[in-house]
Each structure stands twice: as structure tokens, then as C-alpha cells.
Amino acid sequence: MLANSNLRPHYRRPLITTPFFERSQYFVETDTYVDWSGYSTPDVFSSVEQEYFAIRNSVAVFDLTPMVKYRITGADAERYLNRLITRDVSKLRVNRVAYTVWCNEAGHVIDDGTVFRFGPNEFHVCTAERQLDWFLDSALGFEVQIQEVTEDIAALAVQGPTSCATLKNMGLVGVENLKMFEMGQFQLGGHPLMVSRTGFTGDLGYELWIPADGALALWDQLMEAGRLLGIRPMGYQALDMARIEAGFILPNADFISASHTVRLGRETTPFELGLEWLVALDKGHFNGRRAIVEEKARGSKRRLLAIEIAGRKAAHGSLIYDDETSWRQVGEIKSALWSPTCKRNIALAMIDAPHFHALKEFWVDIYLHRELMWERRMERAWPVERPFFAPERRKLTPPMDR
Amino acid sequence: MSKAYDHIIIGGGHNGLVCATYLARAGRKVLVLEAAAAVGGAASTREFAPGFRVSAGAHLLNGLPADVLRELGLEAHGLRFSARQITTIALNPAGAPVTIAGNTVTGVEPRDAQAFARFARSMDAFSGVIGQLQGMRPFRITLPSWSERIAALKVGLRIRLLGKRSMRELLRIAGMNAYDLLTDNFESPLLKGALALDATLGAEFAARSPGTVLTFLLRWAGRVHAGALGIAQPAGGMGAVTQAMASAARAAGVEIRTGARVKRITVADDRASGVVLDSGETIAAASVISNADPRATFLKLLGAEYLDTDFVRRIDHFRAKGLVAKLHLALDGLPEFRGVDAAALGGRLLVCPNLDYLELAFNPSKYREVPSAPALEITVPTVRDPDLAPTGKHVLSINVMFVPYDMGDDPAGARKALLASILATLEQYAPGLGARITASELLTPSDLEREFGMAGGHWHHGALTFEQFFFTRPVPGAAQYATPLPGLYLCGAGSHPGGGVMGLAGRNAARTVLEGVN
């Protein structure tokens, strides 16, 4: 039944499945699917712990086909992107990838994503949310073509210490020479396969991009190649744990797109998110630049900090106070996790000015629901370095095989 | 860094000249660059046939503010009027016309005459508020400064001082359409037709469209500004007004260069730094003030890469499609209009016998078609100013409503049909007129765009409607004459309060520049 879900009228099943579904459905033991950008995707395949530890100890595979993908070409493609995003695209070399954000005229973040440079005038942009109207409106005055290619390209993230070994087993000769944020072209059973050394886990890892009709061949060969290297598919939950340890922000968790906010002041800026390193103020004009320059001069209203919290209970959605007994709220937790690898209680927290630089210590109230009873705990918290977890292996080229 | 000029003004139309003069008088070094061979833009006089001259665009001054006239000393710089307080005559195809002179109407039933006097009094009072708005820099409603809050309070106070009943009436009618307002007040089809034409002349819609009371008030407010001058005809055509303005500008120390078409605005360090001319010459200035329409200024002269997507999207959506064509006719003698004596021929002659006529004249334009029975505003400038034509000959200058910017798939055929329908209409009101025509010139909105560089051939560089008025004109982010790019300002009709030969946009812009608003 499920396998034929794409044949049903769309109004009977508004969520579609990815080209990998034909295979991946047999790995799903929990039947916990979630809606990701209109795709039905597994939240957990078997158990979140097993999947998480595959990322950190062997290799895990994540279907990221629902990532929205745009192909941007034309004589003005570089100029266009330089006006659109905050980073300097002229410094992005061919076959390189860059993480970036883009803003509206108020300097508020609309979305984050990655830019892939295929040639002087050819790019792909991967985004969390649909951006077509914004990208098209931004094209006014530029000679550029924008095409949505989300459904045309199937993609898998292959992440973990044995990920490179798996890809080598698959016959991708030279894949070990890819540096971080570099991409390479390969062939797989007659299909062009692009591999980029990118990921959302903070670990050694790659992302594999193939035309949709090559998806099943890719899945089969990958699973076979990784059989003795501990490969297993992972769902959304395990990825979320890894990305918090890596200190990566997630739209709709750590910030909300400025195109979705309704209430005044809920938008966020790159500086507030701690992403000033993405903002090339010296490259000429880009969307939001004037507002960002003003914010830089005036100071940000708040800032996303990496914090560590005493105890072992993850502080999901907790409010943050300036003192143990105080009721003066100075911020709140956006993403929280008891980190199994760091053995630390970590979180990304948005702290208001001036406390984010004035305070060396915060207090977090954590509510625990235990056997239908709420318990409240006040725990000490303090700012720490971000990322929380950054193993050497993620950068090493060529990587070790285990 | 020392710059040769404090300000470069792009475009030597009336607003550019007015802005330049106020800046130069404040001690600034100003250069005006005009693409054409002479200043004036659409406010110029042109010879359309040997010996026959006519105002190229607007043919009457409908609200040249008395302050601007006085402050610039235009009369000292040679401006003369061949007629003041011109009357409006609603032509009647069947007999006697209706005549509006100031706040008095004749040719209607006593009931309408009384109603008009009462109506005119309220419109005068409301126009005080509108006039105040037109003369000020629009305040912002998001994050206003203290001075803007005070300005907003003053407007509120002015509305409140109308008295409770009038205030309520103004707020009731402000968003209404002219059709309903006129139907509520009057019986005479001719009177209603004439007032409806005034409400929609130069607008993008007929009298049944919402917002036409606002456009009516904007026109009426011209009378408040003009004071004793009223609706006036400048001697020598509209070009005489801009010639006097240019003379005032030069006297104030402004340098004017004609035949200097600006190719683009240069940017350095996120600031307008000057212009490049078509000739390749670069001229630097501390700031650039554009009298070109907003679309041309931002998308052609500056370029989207210096602006944010949100702003460009708003500019792209700024509606500017003119609906008025201009017809110039050379006549071998004085025309005769039914029921109009020779003395009255110097007035504004309107062809719009009733409200439905206007609506039907408008309908085809929605489908890229030309009207078969157009509404007309006719002047015979040579009655008051014989020098515009050879002795004994005359000129007819006609605003034709409603002629679309896009005239369909066969524009040449549409043009021919339009000319034929205008002449047929004229023949009904002035039998025998056709035989006296020795030359003609028809300027459709697309011709006006090509001739004067106004986007869409629109008189006001963009529709004057509620959503493009005051703090949203042309668009939020550029409605206070300053633009998102530091050092770049707007001073043209695309800015508040819009077009018509008033010069208020130029004056408001000059004040903004002098106050150092970035």
C-alpha cells in the first residue's frame, strides 16, 4: 500500500515520498514518519540511540532529498548571488561549497543553506525552506536563470568515521582526497554522482547527489559497501542530536525565518545567531547590508550562545534567569541535549543584551515530567565554546578508515 | 575629498529646477543635467506645425502655489499669465453649457446651484487639509522621529479643527468614489460629468473606482495653493514657466547643462558619488537628486544590485501607466463650439456630458483598446495668447481620456481609430471644426514616455492613488525623498505630492536635503 502512495490522488495523501522510499521503508521499524517539506520522512528507523552512535562510531545514512534545491545559472549568477546572500561568492572557487544565510532589507535572516559552485556561472543553492519567490524577485535586474530541482536530484548524507571507507568500498576512486567543503564528480552505474564533503553532524562525512532515477542503485551499492563498516540508515532525531553537538543552528528551532514571523521582534539577525563570520561587509551591497552595518554599530539586541548546564537533564525550552532566585528572565533555550559523546548537558540559548556579554553565569529552570508529575529544578549554566564537539577526523585529509 | 558640486540634479523639469533653486539659495553648488536640448521636460512649449506652438504636456496651471511663485520670483524672471481664474465649461451637445467659475455654477437648476456653493465650501475646507499634506515631507508611521510625530499631530489637529461635522464628513468621503459623491449632491448630468472628469483627469480609472474622491480633492486643492491665480494659462505656453524657473535657478547660481543625458548614477562606499553621462563624462558630487521617475531612477540609472530585494520589488510594483493622450490641432480660424460665445472660448471646455459617458470612455482602456467616444479637456490657448499661432490662426490643445499605454496588437490601427473618434466627437460639439484643421499631432502615453522619459507616459510618474500617496509614495523606504542609498534623493512627480506643475515635490525634497536627512 505504502509503496504506491505516490500513485494516489494528492488530496488523499498530501505528503510524497523520496526516490529512496522503495528501499528505506524496509529499514523502518518504528513507523514514525514526519512531514519534512512535504515529504514523509522517518523520524526514527529503529532506535535513536543506535542511529546516533552510528554517526559517531561507524557510519549513518540520512536521506536529505527533501532539502530544497535550486539551480542558478547565467552571466550574472555570481553578481546575483553576491547581492542575495551575506557571504562573498567571488571568493568561492569552482567545486567548492559554502554555508551561508540570506536576509531581507531589515537585516533579518530569511533562511540558511549551502551554495555549491559548479562553474563560473553555475551554482546550486540548497535551502531548508522554499525560496522560489524570493529568489525570482531578487533576479530583477540580473541576467540569471533560476530553476527548482528538488525532485530531480536525490541525495544521501553519509556521515561517521567509516564514511570515507564506505565510499572507497563503493569504488569512488579518489574520494579520500576531497577536502572539507570540496566536491567531486563520479560515475555510478551510468549515473553522474556528485560527492561533497559536507554534512550536518560535525563529523567526518559526505553528501551524495544523484539524478532521481539513480537513487535506488545508489542506495543498494552504498548499503552493500558499508555492510561490514557498521552502516545503518538514520532518522531525523539522531541527526538533530548530532547537529546540536556540532553547534549547527536549525530553522524553526533556533531561529524563525523573517518571512514567517507575525509578531514584531521575533526575527533574528546573522549577528544575533553568532554568524557574523558569514557576513562579508566589505564585498559591496547585499540584501540587508545597511541594516546589518547599523546593528553592528549599535550592538545586537540578543545573541545565541553555546551554554553548558549543570546536571544531566536536557533543558528543552527552558527559560533563563540572571540568578538562582531571580524572576528576571534574560533569555531562553532554543535547542538542548544531554550529549552522549561529550557527556555534558549542552544547549543553544538566546540571551538578551546586555546579559549575553555581561553575565558569566545563568540559571535555567528545567521542568521534568516524571510519572505524570511535574518537578522543577533550578540549574546553574555558563557559556562555553561552540561547537561542543569537533573531532579531528572531520578535517583530516585523507581521512583514516576507522 | 572635495567635490566639484554639492548636488547633481538629474532632469531639468520643473521639480528639478525648483529643487535646484532652493538648494543654491541655501549656498549649495548645484548642477542640473537635462537630457533634452532645452529644460522643461513635459512642462515645455513645442512647435508642432510651422508657426503653431503649444504646451507639450499640461496646458494649464492648476495649482502653481502662490508661495513657490513668490519665493522663486518667477514673475521677476519673466513669467506672465495670459489668463487667470479660468472658467470651466461643460459642453452640451444639445444646447446651453454649464459654466463653473470659482465656487459658482451657472446653467443648472437653482437647487444644483445652491448645492454646488455648499459643496464647494466643504471642498475648500477639506482642501486645506490636503494642501497641508501636499506641502510637507510625509511623516513615517513606523519609528517616526519627534518632529514627525509633531507633524502628524498638526495634521490631526487640522482635521479636528474642521469641526466635528466636517471632520466626520471628510473621513466619510475620503475613501469613496466620485460617482457616488456627485450623485449624492447633484442632479445636472453635465455638472456631474464635468466634476467627475476633474476627479479622474490624469488618473488610472473612471469615477466609479474607489479613491476618486481623493484624486478630486487633490485637484481641488490646487485652487488653495494657487490662491488668486486660480487655474491659469502662462503666456507663451508651459515652457514659459520652466524658462522662468531656469532663469531663477541660474540667478541663484545653479549651473544648468542641456543635452547631457545621465547614463547611470555612480556609487562609492555605499553612497551616491556622482553620475556618468552618455558621453562617458563622469561628474562627482556629494549627493545626487533624481527628478527622473522612480522606476528609471532605481532600476535603470542606479541598478538593483545597490538595493535590497524587498525595495526593488516595491519599485517594480509602483503602478505607472498613463491614460491621457494629448492632441494638438492647428486651425485656420477660430473654432465655434455649440452654445459657447467667443469670450468663453478661452475657458476649459470639457466633453463629458454625464457620468456614464466617462465610465464608457474608460472601459475600453481596460482591454488595451481606445475609446470610441473619448472624454476631452479642450483649451484654445490662442484665444488668450495669439502669439502661439500665425495671425488669425488658432491652436487646439486637448487632453484625451482614456488612452491606454498599451494600445493592443495593432497600435498603428488603434492610433488611426483614436484620432478618428476624437475628431468625430469634436464634430458633435463644434460642427465644421474638422474642415479647419491644417495640421495635427497626437501624443499617446507611449509617445509621452518616449518623448519625456516618464515611465508609462504618466503625468505623475506613477498613479496617484491611496496606496501610492503620502507616506507610501512612491514606496515605503523612499517616501521622504531620501532613498535607501545614502546620498541619493528623489525630487520628481513620483514623490509626494505628485505631478501637475506645482513644484512642491522639488521644494519638499530641497528641504529634506538641507536638513541633512540621509
Residue B243 φ then ψ, to 5°:
-65, -45
Q: In degrees to the nearest 10, what's the CA dihedral of B173, B175, B179, B185? A: 0
DSSP tag of A16: B
3-state secondary structure of B496: coil
Name which of A104, A134, A141 is nearest B305 (Cβ-Cβ). Answer: A141
User: Which tens digits make up the pLDDT trace of A288-301?
Assistant: 999 999 999 999 99
Between chain A and chain B, the number of residue pairs with CB atoms below 8 A apart is 48
Which domains, and CATH codes, for chain A?
2-67+151-246 (3.30.1360.120), 68-148 (3.30.70.1400), 302-383 (2.40.30.110)
Cβ-based neighbours of B80, under 8 Å, separated by 6 or more? B234, B235, B236, B240
User: How many whole angstroms from its chain centre is CA B407?
Assistant: 22
Per DSSP, B499 falls in state: -
Instruction: Say what the pLDDT of residue A10 is.
Output: 65
How far apart are the C-alpha atoms of B443 and A359, rounded to whole Å?
A: 71
Chain B: closest CA distance from residue A260 (Å): 15
Interface mutation vs chain B, best among A144, A281, A287, A294, most B CBs within 10 Å = A287
- Give B277 to chain A, closest Cα distance, Å: 20
Alpha-carbon distance of A388 to B286, in angstroms, equals 50
Laid out side by side, the sheet with A68-73 consists of A97-103, A109-119, A122-127, A68-73, A145-148
Chain A residues touching residue B268 (CB < 8 angstroms): none
Give Dmax over CA atoms of chain A in angstroms: 66
CA distance B85 to B83: 7
Residues B518, B512: Cα–Cα separation, whole Å: 8
Which residues does A contribute to its contact with B (CB < 8 Å)? 79, 83-84, 104-105, 134, 137-138, 140-142, 284-285, 287-290
State percent of chain A over pLDDT 90.
Answer: 93
Residues of chain A found within 8 Å of residue B299, distances taken between Cβ atoms: 140-141
All three cell numbers of B261: 543625458
Instruction: Give the integer Cα–Cα distance in Å for A364 and A317.
Output: 10
The region, left, alpha or beta by phi > 0 then psi within -120 to 50, assigned to residue B112 is alpha
* Nearest-CA distance A252 → chain B (Å): 22
What are the backbone dihedrals phi and psi of residue A336, each rounded to the nearest 5 degrees, phi first? -140, 150
Question: Could you give the CA distance from residue A240 to residue A335 in angstroms, rounded to a whole number?
Answer: 9
Cβ–Cβ of A289/B303 closer than 8 Å?
A: no
* Burial (Cβ within 10 Å: 0-12, 13-18, ≥19) of residue B430: buried
Around Cβ B307, how many Cβ atoms within 10 Å? 27
- Chain B's closest residue to A107, CA to CA, is B308
Q: Give yes or no for a cis peptide into B474 (omega within 30° of 0).
A: yes
Name the average pLDDT for chain A: 95
**Per-residue confidence band for A6, with pLDDT thresholds at 50, 70 and 90:** low
Report field, pTM of the whole predicted structure over 0.90: yes
d(CA A374, CA B56): 81
Flag if A105 and B311 touch (Cβ within 8 Å): yes
CA-to-CA distance for A98 and A197, rounded, in angstroms?
11
Contacts of residue B225, Cβ cutoff 8 Å, sequence gap at least 6: B63, B64, B65, B66, B67, B131, B134, B135, B502, B504
Query: What whole-number distance in Å separates Cα of residue A63 and Cα of residue A180?
Result: 20
Backbone dihedral angles phi then psi of residue A87, each to the nearest 5 degrees: -85, 165
- Alpha-carbon gap, residue B323 to A300, rounded angstroms: 49
Which residue of A79, A80, A82, A83 to mutate against B (max B Cβ within 10 Å)? A83
Which residues of chain B have a Cβ shorter than 8 Å from any chain A Cβ? 267, 270, 299, 303-313, 316, 477, 484
Please say if the pLDDT value at position A358 is more than 60: yes
Tell if the CB–CB gap between A290 and B270 is shorter than 8 Å.
yes
Give me the pLDDT at residue B428, please: 96
All three cell numbers of A116:
555549491
- Burial of A375: CB neighbours in 10 Å, binned 0-12, 13-18, 19+: exposed
How far is the C-alpha of B147 from the C-alpha of A399, rounded, in Å?
Answer: 64
Spatial distance between the Cα atoms of A163 and A161, rounded to a whole number of angstroms: 6
Q: For residue B472, give how far its alpha carbon lies from the nearest alpha carbon of chain A (Å).
A: 17
* Closest CA in chain B for residue A293: B270
pLDDT digits (tens, 9 = 90+) for A97-156: 999 999 999 999 999 999 999 999 999 999 999 999 999 999 999 999 999 999 999 999
Question: A40: which strand partners?
Answer: A35
A288/B307 touch (CB, cutoff 8 Å), yes or no: no
Q: How far is CA B201 from CA A314, B32, B103, B147, B363, in A?
A: 68, 30, 20, 35, 15
Instruction: Please judge whether B305 and A289 are an interchain contact, meaning their C-beta atoms are less than 8 angstroms apart.
Output: no
Distance from CA of B325 to the nearest CA of A (A): 30
Query: Strand A39-44 vs strand A97-103: parallel, antiparallel, or unpaired?
Result: unpaired
B448 three-class SS: helix
Q: For chain B, what is the largest distance between any 2 Cα atoms, rounded to a whole number of angstroms?
A: 71
Residue A1 pLDDT grade (very low, low, confident, very high; cuts 50, 70, 90): very low
Give the chain A residue whose CA is nearest to the CA of B303.
A141
DSSP-based three-state secondary structure for A360: coil
Which tens digits make up the pLDDT trace of A367-401?
A: 999 999 999 999 999 999 999 999 999 999 999 87
| Nearest CA-CA distance, residue B146 and chain A, Å | 20
A 10 A CB-CB count for B156 gives 12
Taking chain B (518 residues) in consecutive chunks of 10 residues, what is each chunk's mean pLDDT? 82 96 97 96 94 95 92 96 95 93 95 96 92 90 86 91 92 94 97 97 91 93 87 95 97 97 97 97 97 96 97 96 96 94 92 97 96 97 96 97 95 96 97 96 95 88 89 93 97 91 94 85
3-state secondary structure B202-238: CCCCCCCCCCHHHHHHHHHHHHHHHHHHCCEEECCCH
**Closest residue by Cα to residue A337 from A250, A276, A269:** A250
Alpha helices in B230-337 (DSSP H): 238-251, 294-295, 309-316
Which chain A residues are within 8 Å of B482, Cβ to Cβ? none
**Stretch (H or E) spanning B132:** helix B110-134
| Cβ–Cβ gap A83/B316 under 8 Å | no
Domains and CATH numbers, chain B: 5-42+67-79+234-319+454-514 (3.50.50.60), 97-229 (no CATH), 321-452 (3.90.660)
- pLDDT tens profile A52-62: 999 999 999 99
C-alpha cell at B232: 491659469
Contact assignment for A140 to B477 by CB distance below 8 Å: no
Cell of B414: 488603434
Residue of A78, A90, A105, A132 best to disrupt the B interface, most CBs of B under 10 A: A105
Q: Which residues of B touch A284 (CB under 8 A)?
A: 270, 305
ipTM comes to 0.91
Q: Which three cell numbers stand for residue A340?
A: 552522549
Name the residue of chain A whose CA is nearest to B317's CA: A137
Query: Closest partner residue to B308 among A141, A284, A288, by Cβ?
Result: A288
In this predicted structure, the answer to whether residue A257 has a pLDDT above a threshold of 80 is: yes
- CA–CA distance from B321 to each of A266, A383, B317, B325, B360 (Å)? 38, 58, 11, 12, 19
What is the 8-class DSSP label of residue B301? I
Smallest Cβ–Cβ distance between B316 and the set A140, A142, A289 belongs to: A140
Residue of B nearest to A259 (CA): B310
Taking CA atoms, A222 is separated from A46, A211, A219, A232, A238, in Å, by 19, 16, 5, 10, 20
**Mutation test of the interface with chain B: which of A285, A290, A293, A294, choosing the one with the most B Cβ atoms within 10 A?**
A285
**Between A140, A289, A290, which is nearest B312 by CB?**
A140
A141 closest CB neighbour out of B299, B308, B484: B299
Q: Cell 572539507 sits at which residue?
A: A180
Interface test with A, best of B309, B311, B312 (most A CBs within 10 A): B309
What backbone torsions phi and psi does residue B406 show, to the nearest 5 degrees?
-100, 110
Q: Kindly write down the DSSP assignment for every residue of B371-431, as one continuous string.
A: -SS-EEEEE-GGGT-GGGSSTT-EEEEEEEE---SS--S-HHHHHHHHHHHHHHHHHHHST
**CB contacts, 8 Å: A285 with chain B:** 267, 270, 305-307
Instruction: Identify all chain B residues contacting A288, using CB atoms and an 8 Å cutoff.
Output: 308
Q: How far apart are CA B327 and CA B441, in angstroms?
A: 6
B327 strand-pairing partners: B398, B442
Supply the pLDDT for residue A101: 98
Q: How many CB atoms lie within 10 A of CB A99?
A: 17
- CA–CA distance, B498 with B505 (Å, rounded to integer): 7
Q: Which residues of A touch B267 (CB under 8 A)?
A: 285
